[in-house]
Amino acid sequence: MVDTGEIIDDDEIFDALAARYRRRLLVELLTRDRRDIEKLTGISRAVADADGELLRKTLSNSRSISGADEKLLEKHHVHLPKLAEYGFIEWDREDHVVTKGPRFDDVRPLLELVDGQRERAPAEFDYLIVGEEPNSLSQSAFPHD
């Protein structure tokens, strides 16, 4: 474990692993040094740049905007900032790249456990562990991310 001088907060670790996208990203970083992140473009970029209230309503599903990629907005404005805040990832917003953060090793044992369970579980239960739907098991772990 990397000594960051901070006490490990189990709540942060479990919060980080609570969302499927965050679990999948962190598990992928076990075996990769970096992950390219899709850029916000078009209407999604406009929504993100517009104002905080519009973005908040879009992310809370109280308002939908035609043509906006709400999942991508959520990644950029909820999931990635949360993982970066906890120190589990470093997010280079200009280069659209994520790498392991200074506290990645704090969450590594749980990620290895999750990944190990994935290998032992029957394929039809894989989605319970890292969120892959049974019909997409032969595809990339991040087909649209």
Q: What domains lie within the chain, and their CATH numbers?
A: 10-136 (1.10.10)
Three-state secondary-structure class, residue 70: helix
* CB atoms inside a 10 Å sphere around CB 15: 14
Global confidence as pTM: 0.73
Mean pLDDT across the chain, nearest whole number? 77
**CA gyration radius, the chain:** 16
Higher pLDDT, 123 or 13: 13
What DSSP character marks residue 94?
T
Contact predicate 18/124, CB 8 Å:
no
What is the percent of the chain with per-residue pLDDT over 90, rounded to a whole number?
41
Any idea which of 39-43, 111-115, 136-140 has the lowest mean pLDDT?
Answer: 136-140
Contacts of 35 (CB under 8 A, 6+ apart): 25, 28, 29, 97, 98, 99, 142
Residue 19 has pLDDT above 60, yes or no: yes
pLDDT digits (tens, 9 = 90+) for 89-125: 999 999 999 999 999 999 999 999 888 776 666 565 5
Contact predicate 114/3, CB 8 Å:
no
Residue 138 has pLDDT above 70, yes or no: no
